Structures are given as structure tokens and as C-alpha cells.
Structure 1
Amino acid sequence: MTAPTRRPAPATGGPGWDAAVGALVNRSDRRGGTLRLVSSADVDSLDPARTYYVWVWLLQRLLNRTLMAYPTDPGPGGLVPVPDLADGPGQVSDGGRTWTYRLRRGLRHSDGTPITSADIRHAVQRVFAQDVLPGGPTYLVPLLDDPARPYPGPYRTDEPLKSVHTPDEHTVVFHLNRPFSDFDHLMAQPCAAPVPGHADTGADYGNSPLSSGPYRVAEHRPGAYLHLERNPYWDPATDPIRPALPDRVELTIGLDVDELDARLVAGEFDINLEGRGLQHTAQGRVTADDVLRSHTDNPRTSFLHFVAMQPHIPPFDDVHVRRAVHYAADRLLLQEARGGPVTGGDLTTALFPPRLPAHQNLDPYPSGPDLRGDLDAARAELKAAGLADGFEAVIGTQRGKFRMVADALVESVARVGIRLTVKELDVATYFSLGAGHPQTVRENRLGLIVTDWGADFPTEYGFLAPLVDGRQIKRNGGNWNLPELDDPAVNALIDETLHTTDPAGRARLWREVERRVMEHAVLLPLVHDKTLHFRNPWVTNVYVHPAFGLYDIQAMGLDATGPDSSDA
């Protein structure tokens, strides 16, 4: 492992505040050098079937290709998947139930073996093995499974998944059990990256995965670093998306957030891969310095920061208790905990981000004219629950901004007698084995959980269904329906959206889904996130990808002043 090269902090102004939002900054096709990334948390998994962190999905774009992928486009075009391994979009037939893809020729894995349609099918089959490979998205399971004879995954049977056909080595056909107009988006998720059966080691695959993208894993020491090197079998002539400019990519893992920010701004690292943005200490320094500020971006990421309440943990099984928390929330204090209105996010009382057609101005639990909370309404709800004197409970969180939000909520609800104890969970496993694991939630009696969420793909279904669809509750980890909401009326409305071809009608249905969810009061929306990102001036092709809300590292390179640029 080589020590990071320190570069001086920027001495001259950059392209400007927010220059990489909607545009490409420092455009270049220069090859070579080592792109030095940093994160406080480790990757959740290098197995494409198990990862669910959005920043790891961006990392996967370096390692793996999928049938479809989001293009290198900072504008609205970046929201629409384009062919990657496939030679065209899915060909749709049978009323939207059959999707056919054909692979490009000359594709190879990082061990030199050809990429075939059987590798795609095997990758999809692995998603069904949630007992072995929990953690990643499972949209494909209800679309491709037979409820009368559920498929157990490739580790429990030698039989292939009957709904996926491979008539030849270059063709894969998906037979859905219901129409799903967003299927191209699912084929852009990491879990659709090809995995050949001969290399699949089950739960251990993430320790030594093959690659189909321009880079492969050179070395990974969990909690310390991840190094990528070029994949000699990747052919740029077959890849319309990835320029693969650096020779190496090195990720340093596990730094304290304030140390991370200081070393990033000092030039020791190029980009913060994790994308949670500069923390409070660095924000003050950077925003007060005109030169440093010109190297920052403050995008609206479409992430929702919220608190989930658990109806299976008393006294949150009473809707009046959940409503009391809504009314008692000091919205301005909670926004400040995220970094304030500039870098913390836009206050929201609704779930959908503004860029989605179903967004509505929904505020079922008003927090008073000063946004500091309606304490009288909160006390009335507690009285209705028989808890006029309040109660004690536990709120789950992790370090950093999540902890600050937890502390702010503790202060908010204490005003009406709700006494919360903060429980910090491990950052690296927060969503896989912590807050996202129902057993952990119950063992720690986490009545409230601080979290954030970004859409798996940029549609209403991709944004809200994982949070509220009862059929997407995951008992083995990686659960995003944190309240474990399973309302038949909500589930039925979600199904109706999938059969509605009229965009306006579909938006109306999603608004009704949102209203019904908010009636349950299990989700307390706080802000639609804005984060303050810092880009060092020698990094090229920097832009915030509209589908992910973070910097798209696969597009990046280094100019002549960058670390290790001499080896270009």
C-alpha cells in the first residue's frame, strides 16, 4: 500500500459553487495516474447481489457492467438507462410481461472467460438466495417468481429459474408475472451484473469477485483500504459508457469524518467517494473561503432523511404515540443538525422529492407557524394514548450527522415528556445487520431509527416501494421497510400503479399511496438532502450524476497536476 500524496489546498478559484451540478467540470480525456478516494465507512459488499449503499453502486460501475446502465450525462438524460452489455434496450412483448435482451459480442470476465447469457441468468438467480446473499435489492423476486412453487435460489437446486430463458449464448429473455414498465432500470442495478457459475462461491463471492468492467479488485483489507487495477480483458470498444481514465483507483477506508474532510481539502485525497458531504467543522471553513467555496457543489440529491417509527416496539404500536413525535419535532433544529438550509437539506413534510411527478405539498402533522413543533397537539396525542406523562424509548442511529439528528430529536420530544436514549450502531453494517435487520431492531428495542434513503432508480416506484411495500420486508437484513408496514390497501395501490400506463393517472395513484402511508405516521420526513461536496481542482470530468445524486467516479480522470500524474 502506498501512502497518499499530499497536494496543496487550492490556491486559485475553481469553476464555481455548484458548477458540477448539471454540467461537467474540467473536461478531459487524459489517461493515467491513480485516483485517490476516501470514505469513513467500508463498502457494504463487493458482491453485486449484496450491495445497497448508493456510493458502492457507483464503485460497482468501475468493476461491473450490466445489461443497461445510466449514461455519463449530467443532465436529464442521465436518468434514462441506456444499453451497456446489451446491444439495445429491452424488447418488450406480451403486454409488458416479456423483456428480451441481446448481448454485445466480444465481452469477457476478468478471468478471460466469455460473458454469456447464462451468466446473466445465474446473477438473477442469486438474488433469490436471500438466506445466503442478503443485503441487496430484491425487486426481481416478485416479478420472476412462481408463488405456487417459489424458486429457492441456485444453492438449493440445480434447476434453473423457469422465468428466465437463454435460447443462445447472446440472448436472455425474462418472462415477468406482471407488467413492469421500469424493467430497464432493474437491469441497470448491480445485482444484474454477470456472475459465472464456475466462479460463484456463494456467501464468499464478495471476497474475490470477478469483474466485467474496466477495473478489477487488486487488494481489499476491510476497514482499511480497497485497491483497483485495470482489467486486462475489458474492451473499451464494447463499452459506450466508461472512459476508464486512471490506471489505478485507491480507496482509503475508516477515517473519522472530520479527519477525512481535513485531509481531503488539504489535497491528500482527490474525492470523498462516500458522498455524505463535508461535515460541520469543514463546512464553516470552506464556505467562508471564496477560493475553497469555488471548488464545491451543493446538489439536491433527492435523498430523503427521515426517522422511522416501529409499530412492533411498544408504545409505538399506538398511532397516537407516533403522531405525538411528529407534532413535537422541532423542524428547524433537525434541519440544523443536518447542516442547516444550505448544506443540510430542504425541509419537507412529504416523502417524494420535488423532481418526481407525484410530489405533493403534504403536511398532515403541522409543526406550528415557527416550525418548532406543535407541543399542545403532541401532548393531546400522548393523552389519547394514555401516556400524558410521556415515556422512555430508544432511538437507533450511527455516528456523524445521523447522531446529530438523533440528539436533536431527543431534545425536541423531551419537551413533551418523551425520554429517548440514543443507541449508536456500527456504520459499516448499519443497513445490513443493524437498523435494516428486524432482529437487531427488536433485540435493542429501537422504537425510532434515524436513516436516509435514495431511490434505487429514479421513478416513484423506485423511490417509495422499498420503504412501504409490505412484500419487500426483509427478515434477514438489508430491510428498508423499517417500520415493517404491511397495509393491504397500500400494497394494492402500488400494484395498480404498475398497470397504469397514463403518467398523470399513475402520479395520482402514488399520491394516494403517500397519503395512506402518512396516515400511519410511521415515517417522519425531515429534509430532502443537500450535501456540500468538495472536488479537488486536478480531478477531471467531475459531475453530480442525476440518477445517484453523487459524483460519478467512473467518469473521472486526473490532469497533469494530480497525484501520480507522472505515470500517465
Structure 2
Amino acid sequence: MDRRDFLKALGLTATVSGAGALLAACNANEQSGAGGAVAVSRGGTLYVLYDVTSIRLDPAKSQNLAITTISLLHRRLTAWKTSADGPATVVPDLATDTGRASADGKTWTFTLKDGLKMADGTPITSAEIKYGIERSFDPAFSGGLGYHKTLLEGASGYQGPFKSGDLASIETPDPKTIVFHLARPYGDWPWIASMPAFAPVPKGKGTDANYDASPVASGPYVVAENTKGVRLRLTRNPNWNAQSDPARSGLPDAVVIQLGQDTGVMSQRLLASQGNDAYAFGANFVNPAQLAQIRSNPAAKNQLVTSKSGALAYLALNTKRGPLANPKVRQAFQYAVDKTAYQIATAGSADLAGPIATTLITEGIAGREKFDLYPAPPGGDVAKAKQLLTEAGFPNGLDNLDFPVSTSNNDADKAQALQAALQRAGIRTKLRPLDDDAWTAVVTGNDGAYDLTLGSWQPDFPSANANIQPLFGTSEIGNGGYNLSRYSVPEVDALIEQAQGTVDQQAAGKLWAKADKRILQDSPVIPLIYTRNSFLHGAKVGDFVIGEFPAYPNYLQMGLAK
């Protein structure tokens, strides 16, 4: 799935393209990173302003992250703990721990906490979790994050409990124990167990599409109203036990998500903080055109929060096409690009856009190592680029490289900035504007008929695994995969498999850092920046924190002033 801006996965926008909005790092988490100026208490109604007309609430269909909307309703075996001061960590949620692996890393066992109940009074047992996961395989309820579907043993061809019956690789030996048998060792299974499909579903529920509108909740809230294009209103779940839940504060009495909002008006409302807007926040990025004004407004200082960094923006080079098959040619691009020009094209200035990137693993991911294999000034090193092209046999540069680019948001402006920079080194490109669907079809299809393109990626879960494998594994070339550089190196595939199978996360992190460096030696992509995200909230909203990962506020921890 498209992660060029990582929005669809969060349920934060109606599309998956475009740059979003960014703000200077000096204001990152300034209002509430250390507790903030707003003293919060239990009670009140939190309002969320949102430009989409509906939200996926069925855990089988959801691509929400573990800190956003769906987790107000659904708990899973594990959850995320985010912090402005360090990487995200996995914590127990419905389970007593984050899972116990067998020696070979292929079997994972979880034990459930005592006294857990669904909102309808159904006890949460291993059977409800197994049923929920099995249900996610049914084609009628597809669309959610599906990492587990390729990892569970015997899952190939399985079509859910209604068509295929029991999935033997998920065992429930007793009501409190659930055991997963994987097809191969996989050290990140505790993160997989935090995904929406691992939410419990009562047996016999969720048999039709209507479940998406009002699912049975296990989190602090239940659906009280769901009117498409108008509002989603959540009220307290009387069966939620705050003491057993380390991920959710559950402070507001209710959460009202106002749908179909105008993003331009949204910022004005939040800054004014009149009436209910004082208790609201915007789920969409701040519009780049409004950032300069907001930034210069002293009254807005405590209402605007910005991530330290975010998704990796990069230029992908098709390693299967003509001269780009030569690693030295690709390395020339590392010096030819002007990353400062890219920053300005993204958000008007370098500090608004986000810091310059030199690695594939994004900031805020445990185990990430900072390095730069191609040191150059931010504006590039044209002489070095020309030298490498000459050594590769192209002293006159390159002509007519096909550069498809999405017309959504300002991707075309960013591509033009790169085009101008590359031309300085004699690399001449031809931009091919496409609407977002057409662009996606070209770059993720099987033909690979293009030379270079822009991409952006932030993982679905806080592991370098989700940085590296989706973008550089051979299995992700074509067929809708996002290996946009068509990069296929057996040594790297073997390293990915080794890292995925390593249960010890510190040891796995070293392997992923090794993979990061090994891939960049071949230069299939040019890291550009780690894009920043900025959000506004009303004056009465506190504990509004953006962690090091992901670059979005944690919906589950916010509270309100009296």
C-alpha cells in the first residue's frame, strides 16, 4: 500500500498522496512534550476535526496505527507506548506480556489478563481474539493491515472462518492462552500483535458489512452515533478497565469526531478556540500555506505541535533500466541532488520541511544508526557527480530519463526542483505528470516502465523491518509492492530474512543497520529529508504529544482542562 505520506494507514486523510504540512523543529512538542501548560483532568468531551467523510472501525478493515482512532474502540494483545524523548516501545495490552517466543522464533505464546470484557459483556478470551484474526482473512472484510496473513503457517489460501473453518496455526488451549505458529521465524511478532486484526470480536458477530459502522468495543469507548459525513460520537465503555490498560488514559468522557471539515477553516477555528473548539484538535496536517502566518502568531505557540522528523522522502532509481543498472551511475545521483532545493519546494524553507536524510531507517526507530555514505553539501556536489558519471562511461551525462510524478499536492514542484538540480550534472529528465491512481499503477505495476520517481515512507510499526523489507525486498517488486527501485540483491534478501528471524531485538537492530548501509552502497534510492508534520489543537487540550515515532499525536493519551 502507498506510504508516500503515510496518511491512509493512520486514517488521517482521504488520499495517500501529497506532502501534508510541516513546521520548524524549534516548536516540536513545545506545548506539551513535558506535561505542557494545560493541566488535564478526567471528564469532558474531546472533539476531533477531520476532513474525511467516514472512518473504518471494523478491525479487519482498518489500517489505523495503534495510537489513532480505532484504538479508542479496540484493544489488542499488545500496544504502543510513545514518547517525545525516545523510540516507541511495545507494551502488553490484553496480554500479560509482549509474547514468549520458542527457541526457533516460529511459535509465539500469549497469556491474557484476568477479568477482561467486551462492551456487550462478552468475556475476552483467546477464542474471541482467534476469531477476530481468522475473520480478517475473509475477502468480504479485507483492506486492513495484513502482515499476519503471510506469516501464519498454513494461511495461504485460507479465507476466514465462514468459508474455511478453523485456522490450525492459531491454537487456543484454554481461555487465557493463545499460541501462534508461524511459517518462519519472525522477531517482530509482538508488533504484529498490536495491529487492528488482533482485536477481539465476539463469536458470531461481524458476519456482515454493518459491523464496520458499530463494532463491539474492548477499549475505553463505544460507538454512540456514526453518521457518515457528519460525526462519529464515542462514549464510555462501562466494561473497560483502566488499570489493565497501559496504552490508553481514557480521560475524556466522550470523543466526537466531526467529519467532512474544511481544512482551511479548521486552523482558524482551533486558533480561535471558541466554544467546543477549545477542546478540539485537527486530525489533518496544517495547510502549508497557513504555516507562516501561524508561526508568526505568538498566541499560537502553545497550540501548534510539530514532529521532530517523520517519513523518509526519497528519489527512487529503477535499477533495471538502462544506465541506471550501473551502481556508479546511481551513486552520481547522491551528489547531483540539491536537498535544500527539495526542502524549499516541500514547505517553503529548510526548517519547515524537515531535516536532511542520509539513512533509510527513519528517526525514532530503535536500533537506527546515523551515517552518511555520500557526504556532500546540502546543495549537492556537482563536480563529484560528473566525475562518477565519467568513470561509469557517461562523460556527456544522461538524456531523457523518464520521471513519472503524481500531480497530487506539490509533488510536481518537488520533482521540478530535483530535475533542475540533476541537470547541473548533465542528468536530463523528462517529467511525466500523472494523477495519483495512474502514478501508483506505473510505479507498483509489473512493467517497471520508468527510470526514476519520488517516494515517501514511514513504517506501519516501529521496527526497522518495516523500513527496509517493503522498499527493498525482492518480493515487493511489482504486483502492487513498493520496491520502486526494483532492487533485487540475494545478499540483501538473505540479510532481511536473517534480521526478521532474530528474536533478540538488539541483535536484530544491528542486522537492520547493516542492511541499511549495504543497500545504500548500491544506491537504489537517494534519501532526501525526514518530513515533519504539524498539528493544531484548541487551548483546552493537554497531553498532546508527538513521539519520536510515529510523527502523529497519540490520540489515546490526550486530556482536557476543566
Are 2:313 and 2:455, in contact at CA under 8 Å, matched by a contact in 1? yes
Shift of 1:347: 0.4
5+ unaligned residues in a row in structure 2: which ranges?
1-25
Show the counterpart of 2:458: 454
SS at match of 2:133: helix
C-alpha deviation, 1:395, in angstroms: 0.9
Candidates 533, 539, 547, aligned match of 1:537: 539
Note the C-alpha offset of 1:420.
0.7
- Is 1:138 paired with 2:146? yes
Contact residue 16 and residue 295 of structure 1 kept, 8 A: no
Secondary structure, counterpart of 2:204 in structure 1 = helix
Tell me if the contact between 1:34 and 1:246 (Cα under 8 Å) persists in the aligned partners. yes
After superposition, the Cα gap between the structure-2 partners of 1:208 and 1:354, relative to the gap in structure 1 and judged at 3 Å, is: closer
SS across alignment from 1:422: strand
Aligned counterparts of 1:509 and 1:439: Cα–Cα separation in 2: 28
Pick from 292, 299, 307 the counterpart of residue 291 of structure 1. 299
Judged with a 3 Å threshold, the aligned counterparts in structure 2 of structure 1 residues 350 and 444 are, in CA distance, closer, same or farther, namely closer
Q: 1:304 aligns with which of 308, 312, 318?
A: 312
Equivalent residue number for residue 348 of structure 1: 357
Which position in structure 2 is the counterpart of 1:329? Answer: 337
Give the Å deviation of 1:154: 0.5
Q: 1:59 to 1:187 in 2, by over 3 A?
A: same
3-state SS of 1:81 partner:
strand
Q: Which amino acid aligns with 2:111?
A: R
1:180 deviates by: 2.9
Shift of 1:354: 4.6
Q: Does the CA contact (< 8 Å) of 2:271 and 2:303 recur in 1?
A: no
- Is residue 83 from structure 1 mapped to residue 119 from structure 2 by the alignment? no
Structure 2: how far apart are the matches of 1:202 and 1:489?
45
Please report how far the alpha carbon of residue 393 of structure 1 lies from its aligned counterpart in structure 2 after TM superposition. Answer: 3.7
Shift of 1:331: 0.9
Tell me the residue number matched to 2:116. Answer: 107
CA distance 1:110–1:239, change in 2 (3 Å): same
Matched, 1:167 2:173: yes
For the 8 Å contact 2:126–2:176, the answer to whether it is kept is yes
In structure 2, which of residues 160, 172, 187 is the aligned counterpart of residue 181 of structure 1? 187
Shift in alpha-carbon separation, 1:218–1:502, aligned structure 2, 3 A = closer
- What CA distance in whole angstroms lies between the structure 2 residues aligned with 1:296 and 1:175? 45
Unmatched 5+ stretches in structure 1: 1-14, 426-432, 561-568
Q: Could you say what secondary structure the match of 1:297 adopts? A: strand
The structure-2 alpha-carbon separation of the partners of 1:137 and 1:312, relative to structure 1 and needing over 3 Å to count, comes to farther
* Residue number in structure 2 paired with 1:59: 69
Kindly indicate whether the alpha-carbon contact (under 8 Å) linking 2:533 and 2:552 is maintained by their aligned counterparts in 1. Answer: no
User: Which deviates the most, 485-494 or 342-351?
Assistant: 485-494
The C-alpha deviation readout for 1:193-251, integer Å capped at 9, x for no partner, is 12334222466653443322122334445565443333344343543432322233233
Structure 2 match to 1:49: 60
Match of 1:468 in 2: 472
Matched, 1:495 2:505: no
Letter in 2 for 1:263: R
CA distance in 2 between partners of 1:236 and 1:509 (Å):
37
Change (3 A) 1:531 1:440: closer
Contact 2:533 2:551 in 1 (8 A): no
Paired residue type of 1:33: G
Shift of the alpha carbon at 1:387? 8.2
Deviations 1:103-152 (A, max 9, x none): 233333344433221221123334545x5555443332343224xx7342
Distance 2:355 2:235 in 1: 39
Residue in structure 1 matched with residue 41 of structure 2 by the alignment: 30
CA gap 1:474/1:553 in 2 versus in 1, 3 angstroms: farther
Number of residue equivalences: 529
CA contact (8 A) 2:458 2:467 kept: yes
- Whether contact under 8 Å (2:126, 2:172) holds in the other structure is yes
Cα offset for 1:487? 3.6
Aligned positions of 1:221-300 closer than 5 A = 225-255=231-261, 257-267=263-273, 269=277, 270=279, 272-274=281-283, 276=285, 278-300=286-308
**Rounded Cα–Cα distance in structure 2 between residues aligned with 1:314 and 1:57:** 44
TM-score, structure 2 normalization? 0.79
Q: Distance in 1 between matches of 2:224 and 2:477?
A: 35
From 385, 389, 392, the counterpart of 2:399: 389
Cα distance in 1 for partners of 2:506, 2:116 equals 41
RMSD between aligned residues: 3.9
SS of 1:66's partner is coil
For residues 187-198 of structure 1, the aligned pairs below 5 Å read: 187-198=193-204
Q: State the AA in 2 paired with 1:461.
A: N
Q: Within 2, Cα distance between the matches of 1:361 and 1:437?
A: 33
Whole-angstrom CA distance in 2 between matches of 1:315 and 1:207: 52
After superposition, the C-alpha distances for 1:475-527 in whole angstroms (9 at most, x for unaligned) are 4x6x4444454443222101222455677764443233223433554433211
Name the SS for the 2:399 alignment partner: coil
SS of the equivalent of 1:80 reads: strand
- The alpha carbon displacement at 1:552 in A equals 1.1
2:222 aligned with 1:216, yes or no?
A: yes
Distance 1:69 1:106, change over 3 A: same
SS across alignment from 1:245: coil
Q: Relative to structure 2, which stretch is displaced further, 22-31 or 56-65?
A: 22-31
Given that 2:444 and 2:477 are in contact with CA atoms closer than 8 Å, whether structure 1 keeps it comes out as no
**For residues 236 and 349 of structure 1, do their structure 2 counterparts lie closer, same or farther at Cα, with a shift above 3 Å needed?**
closer
Aligned twin of 2:380: 371
Instruction: Show the counterpart of 1:511.
Output: 513
Give the aligned residue type for 2:354: G
Contact 2:106 2:184 survives alignment (8 Å): yes
SS in 1 for 2:350: helix
Q: 1:62 corresponds to which letter in structure 2?
A: L
| Counterpart Cα distance in 1 of 2:109 and 2:420 | 54
Cα 1:30–1:505, aligned 2, differ >3 Å: closer, same or farther?
A: closer
The alignment's TM-score, normalised by the length of structure 1, stands at 0.78
Hey, what does 1:69 align to over in structure 2? 79
What is the identity percentage for the equivalent residue pairs of Structure 1 and Structure 2? 28
Return the offset for 1:166: 0.6
Most deviating of 497-506 and 551-560:
497-506
Distance 1:318 1:525 in 2: 18
Aligned to 1:123: 132
Change in 2 beyond 3 A, CA 1:83/1:512: closer
Going from structure 1 to structure 2, the CA distance change for 1:507 and 1:205 (only over 3 Å counts) comes to same
- SS of the aligned residue for 2:222 comes to strand
Looking at structure 2, the residues matched to 224 and 387 of structure 1 have their Cα atoms a distance apart, in angstroms, of: 55
User: Residues 315 and 213 from structure 1, CA distance in 2 versus in 1: closer, same or farther, beyond 3 angstroms?
Assistant: farther
Query: Kindly tell me: are residues 441 and 33 of structure 1, through their superposed partners in 2, closer, same or farther at Cα, counting changes over 3 Å?
Result: farther
